[in-house]
Amino acid sequence: MMILSGDPPRSRVLTLVLILIILALALTPFLFPGAKALNVAAKICVFAALVASYDLLLGYTGSVSFAHTMFYGIGSYAIAIALYGMGPNWGAVATGIVVGLPLAALLALAIGLFSLRVAAIFFAMITLAVASAFQVLASQLSWLTGGEDGRSFQLPELLRPGTVLISRNVLGFEVNGRILTYYLVFAVSALMILALLRVVNSPFGRVLQAIRENRFRAEALGFRTVFHLTYANCLAALVAAGAGILNALWLRYAGPDTSLSFSIMLDILLMVVIGGMGTIYGAIIGATIFILAQNYLQSLMGVASKAASEAGLPLLPGLLHPDRWLLWLGLLFIASVYFFPTGVVGRLRNGGGDKSAGTSH
Amino acid sequence: MTELAATDPLPKPKRDIAPILLPIAVALVMIPLIGSPSTWLTLTAASLAMGMMIFIMASGLTLVFGLMDVLNFGHGAFIAVGAYVATLVLAPFAASLQADSLWMNLAVLAPAALLSMAVSGALGLIVERVLILPVYGQHLKQILMTTGGLIVAEQTLYAVWGPQIIPTPLPTSLRGSFILGDVAIAKYRVLAMLIGLVVFIAIQLVLNRTKLGLLIRAGVENREMVEALGYRIRRLFLGVFMTGSALAGLGGVMWALYREQVHASMSDDLTVLIFIVVIIGGLGSIGGCFIGAILVAMIANYGGFLVPKLALVSNILLMVAILMWRPRGLYAVTSR
């Protein structure tokens, strides 16, 4: 209870699903051999943390930000540029963290202060504009960021796949630097999610929910809503940058497509809404569903598309083409905002019934 | 205090002309910076043409927000759909587009633009009924719903037309430039300016000179009051939404010819641009939107000529500067 900050999943099915996901992630290197499974698992860990931090904004304060990938990208690029420029040592990793995290927090502070000065409705639009400018900037400053190619780098000795920590003879399987990196990603992501759970269940988190429900009333109660919103913005940016650092460490690469593109922003939005806004647990569920679909549904769609084109059906092969999987997720997204706005988690907590006890906006 | 007699006319509301002077001032300041007057004229014409096109695309968005407090993040989809639909007409009649006769070219362009407007207007009807009607008054859900709509629309375009870029070459008679002394002004830009001006004047006339416009303006000011007077503001709004979508479609066609290519992701870049314009102008204000569009285009053209490196962030800087001056945009229309 302590570790969950007194906010248990509150549903037997949900608890079971969460335990299953976490066990599967923890044991992936041993249960599912192969590089692809490990990649998918690492991506789920990183995105669970990233989406949870976005949930702090969207679900708990009710403000839509389109600049979340920018902070994620800042984290990724900070570590990539540091390791690329200073060589593969731990000093470079530390430099990347020390530069990346405060930079993300400062930028979040600036955006928060600026867009809260103007009408609150502008927040979503302004974050969208700033994020797109940042994306262009990152691809143009190629001397620093490597432009469209991004930056590939080497990890410190300990984290490399070639480093064998426990050889195959001892336990029957090999524990190498790659697996160590995976557990680093897993542990840090878990820590960040638990920290976010702590934040939303603190008095501060309660104020955020009060602001979401009725900003005017929260202000009338004497809370400085601007301070609370900006603070939440900075916290979310810090965690997003942290997730970006993990992502870059795992991929040994940072580039516009993997850490800055607008499609990642849409992915995050989809994950939060499908998982359930304002629950934190929804982030884990949403990230798992989405990334599994992204990696395994596509091949299924390829088969269906081929079958449709062999059957000579018009249009269907195009609609079922593996590259068009986002189309179906978009439809799923609209349907979930429509029919179950509280997402999977809200649905499970309400026992499957359509009670309107969930969050309302 | 001066005494007012009953026969005196009512005191006129003060006209706020500072925003109107702003683009003129920007243009004048640029003359010495650019140096050559002919270059300045060419750049100014280019900014006016680009600004008009952006205005056509953004006008619907700002009215929709002003009238019904609906934030449509999928507005860019109408632009892309308009552009793609136009290729349906432009591609089969490519031969008459290449003919060196203005009338033959226009005989293809006009139906293409009209079809685009009809299709994106009809799409607007569907989007309003399906995506926006269920979430009136809920900003968060509006943003989510319309973003979802944008994804679906973009992916459908990819599925139907494929991921490749479709070229849309300009008709022969609209290529090249008018040469006045040593000033060259591209013919297509003149056409774009004319269409933009016509649209702007038409919107202003409808808004200020007709009963329909009176109701729309009243709805922007105070929705409940108009409803209380017995008008069906939902139906009015549907009309505005469809008109805005159709205008976005027209803007899409013009933009496609301006860039001479169509791509499904064009809606992404343009969405950001029209958001900036709408924010600068003040949500809900047509005049502000017009000035905002011209300012953005001026910054893009002058900035691109003087300091190309700055062009990337110049829009953001412009937005920051304007919002520091007037936090609600150039003309704050709504009380929201």
Q: What confidence tier does A33 reach under pLDDT thresholds 50, 70, 90?
A: confident
* Pick from A133, A319, A333: CB nearest B312: A133
Which spans in A214-280 are helix H?
A: 215-220, 225-251, 256-259, 262-275
Question: Using CA atoms, how far apart are residues B127 and B245, in angstroms rounded to an integer?
Answer: 10
| Residues in A touching B296 (Cβ below 8 Å) | none
Q: Is B319 near chain A, with CB under 8 Å?
A: yes
A122, A129, A338: residue with CB nearest B272: A129
Residues contacting A52, CB < 8 A, separation 6+? A192, A193, A196, A239, A280, A283, A284
pLDDT band for position A355 (50/70/90)?
very low
Cβ neighbourhood burial of B274 (10 Å; 0-12, 13-18, 19+): buried
Confidence of residue A119 (pLDDT cuts 50, 70, 90): low
Tally of CB atoms within 10 A around B172: 16
Residue B2: pLDDT band with limits 50, 70, 90: low
Which of B140, B163, B275 has its CB closest to that of A62? Answer: B140
Q: Distance (Å, rounded) from C-alpha A293 to C-alpha A330? A: 13
Q: Indicate yes or no: CB of A125 within 8 angstroms of CB of B275.
A: yes
* Banded pLDDT at B12 (limits 50, 70, 90): low
- Taking 70 as the threshold, does the pLDDT of residue B181 lie above it? yes
Residue to test with chain A: of B127, B136, B140, B310, most A Cβ within 10 A: B140
Is B126 within 8 Å of chain A by CB? no
A2, with CB counted inside 10 A (0-12, 13-18, 19+), is exposed
SS3 B183: strand
The answer to whether the CB atoms of A132 and B149 lie below 8 A apart is no
Q: Which of A94-98, A270-274, B288-292 has the lowest mean pLDDT?
A: A270-274
Chain A, nearest residue to B314 by Cα: A133
Q: What is the pLDDT of residue A282?
A: 93
Residue ranges of alpha helices (H) inside A87-202 are: 90-117, 122-140, 142-145, 168-171, 177-200
Q: B318 in contact with A at a CB cutoff of 8 Å? A: no
B129 CB within 8 Å of a chain A CB: no
Q: How do residues B254-306 score in pLDDT, each as one tens digit? A: 999 998 889 888 888 788 889 899 989 988 888 999 999 999 999 988 988 88
Q: How many Å separate Cα A206 from the centre of its chain?
A: 23
- Its ipTM equals 0.80
Considering A281-285, A357-361, B328-332, the range whose residues carry the highest mean pLDDT is: A281-285
- The pLDDT score that the predictor gives to residue A56 is 94
Chain A residues whose beta carbon lies within 8 Å of the beta carbon of residue B268: 262
Q: Cα distance from B11 to chain A (closest Cα, Å)?
A: 31
Helix %, strand %, coil % of chain A (to 5):
75, 0, 25
HSE (side-chain half, CA atoms, 13 Å) at A14: 25
Give the 3-state secondary structure of residue B162: coil
CA distance B284 to B217: 10
Distances (CA, A) of A74 to A247, B69, B204, B311: 11, 34, 45, 22
Mean pLDDT, all residues of chain A: 87
Partner-chain residue, chosen from B71, B141, B158, that has the shortest CB–CB distance to A337: B141
Amino acid identity of A320?
Answer: L
At residue A146, the 3 state secondary structure works out as coil
Q: What are the residue ranges of helices labelled H in B69-186?
A: 75-90, 94-98, 102-127, 139-161
Output the 3-class SS for B226-272: HHHCCCCHHHHHHHHHHHHHHHHHHHHHHHHHHHCEECCCHHHHHHH
Two tokens at B158? 């990819």
The structure tokens listed for A232 are 């939440």
CB A243 within 8 A of CB A68: no
Locate tokens 């979310």: which residue?
A236
Residues B129-139 pLDDT 10s: 999 888 887 88
Q: Quick one: what percent of chain B has pLDDT higher than 90? A: 33
Q: Which residues pair with A176 in a beta bridge?
A: A164
The residue among B258, B288, B261 whose CA lies nearest residue B191 is B258
Using alpha carbons, select from A144, A162, A223, A232 the residue that is nearest to residue A196: A232
Q: Check if B232 contacts A (Cβ < 8 Å).
A: no
CB-based burial, B80-91: b 16+ in 10 Å, e otherwise: bbbbbbbbebbe
**The tokens of A71 are what?**
């902070």
- pTM of the prediction? 0.85
- B159 shares contact with chain A (CB less than 8 Å): yes
Confidence band of B119 (pLDDT split at 50, 70, 90) = very high
Q: Are A249 and A79 in contact (CB under 8 A)?
A: yes
Given an 8 Å threshold on Cβ–Cβ distance, is A327 in contact with B139?
A: no
Which among B145, B159, B323 is the nearest to A327, CB-wise? Answer: B159
**A357 vs A95, which has greater pLDDT?**
A95
Q: How many Å apart are CA A195 and CA A308, to the nearest integer?
A: 48
Average pLDDT of chain B, as a whole number: 87
What is the biggest distance separating any 2 CA atoms in chain B, rounded to whole angstroms?
72
User: Once rounded to an integer, what is the mean pLDDT over residues B53-62?
Assistant: 92
Nearest to A18 by CA among A292, A276, A282: A282
Q: How far is it, in rounded angstroms, from Cα A193 to Cα A187?
A: 10
Which chain A residues have a beta carbon less than 8 Å from that of B152? 327, 330-331, 334
Q: Judge whether B134 is closer than 8 Å to chain A, CB to CB.
A: yes
